[in-house]
Chains A and B, each alone.
Chain A
Amino acid sequence: MKRIHTQWARRVAALGLVVGLTAGLQAAGVAQSVSGRAYGAYASTPLGSTAQAPLAVLPYGSGTDGNVAHAESDGLSAGSALSADFLNSITSGATGRWGDASAGGAQSVASVGTVNILSGLITATGVIANVASTRTASGAVSDANGSSFSNLVVAGTPVTSGEGTVAPNTRMNLPNVGYVVLNEQTLTGDGVTSSGITVNMIHVVMQQPILGLLGQVIGYQTVGNIIVGSASSGVN
Chain B
Amino acid sequence: MFKLRTLAVLAAPVGIALVAWSCDRGTPASPRIDRPNFWAGGEQCPGGKFTGGGRIDPPDHQDAEDQEDGPSGPQMSGKVTFGFNVHLGSDGNGGCVVEKGEIQVVHHQPLFPFQVTWHVSIHSGANDIDGTAVPARTYFSSRGGLCVVVGPTAARTHAVTLQQEGTEQTRMTACDNGEPGSSPGFGPDAFRWESANFGDTQLQFLTGGNIQAH
Contact = CB atoms under 8 A, between A and B. Distances in A.
Contacts of A96: 214
Nearest to A7: B4
Contacts of A72: 106, 117, 158
B176 to A, nearest CB: 7
B55 A128 contact: yes
A111 B27 CA distance: 33
A6 B4 contact: yes
B22 A98 contact: no
A91 interface: yes
Nearest to B5: A9
B55 A19 contact: no
Contacts of B79: 111, 126, 128, 163
B135 interface: no
B4 A105 contact: no
Contacts of A19: 15-16, 18-19
B53 A108 contact: yes
Interface string B74-100: 000001011111010000000000000
Interface stretch (B62-70, B181-189, B192-200): B181-189
A138 interface: yes
A192 B181 CA distance: 18
B149 interface: no
Given A68-B102, A70-B119, A137-B27, A132 B180 contact: yes
Interface string A171-188: 000000000000000000
Residue of B14, B34, B179 ringed by the most chain A CB atoms within 10 A: B179
A96 B14 CA distance: 29
B119 A145 contact: no
B48 interface: yes
Interface in A113-148: 113, 125-126, 128, 130, 132, 134, 136-139, 141, 143-147
A16 B54 contact: no
B4 A10 contact: yes
Interface in A131-171: 132, 134, 136-139, 141, 143-147, 163
Contact of B108 (A17, A66, A90, A113): A113
B104 interface: yes
Residue of A2, A91, A95, A97 ringed by the most chain B CB atoms within 10 A: A97
Interface in A79-107: 86, 88, 90-100, 103, 105, 107
A27 interface: yes
A189 B183 CA distance: 20
B54 A134 contact: no
Contacts of B42: none
A98 B8 contact: no
B166 interface: no
A200 B115 CA distance: 23
Interface string A214-227: 00000000000000
A199 B34 CA distance: 34
A146 B179 contact: no
B23 interface: yes
B1 interface: yes
A12 interface: yes
B98 to A, nearest CB: 13
Given A70-B102, A109-B55, 10 more contacts: A67-B51, A68-B85, A90-B106, A98-B48, A105-B179, A130-B81, A138-B27, A141-B180, A145-B206, A146-B208
17 contacts: A14-B11, A16-B14, A23-B18, A23-B19, A23-B21, A24-B21, A26-B22, A27-B21, A68-B51, A70-B104, A94-B85, A95-B214, A96-B214, A99-B36, A105-B51, A128-B55, A145-B208
Interface of B: 1, 4-5, 7-8, 11-19, 21-23, 25-27, 33-34, 36, 48-49, 51-55, 79, 81-85, 87, 102-104, 106, 108, 110, 115, 117, 119, 146, 158, 160, 176, 179-184, 206-210, 212-214
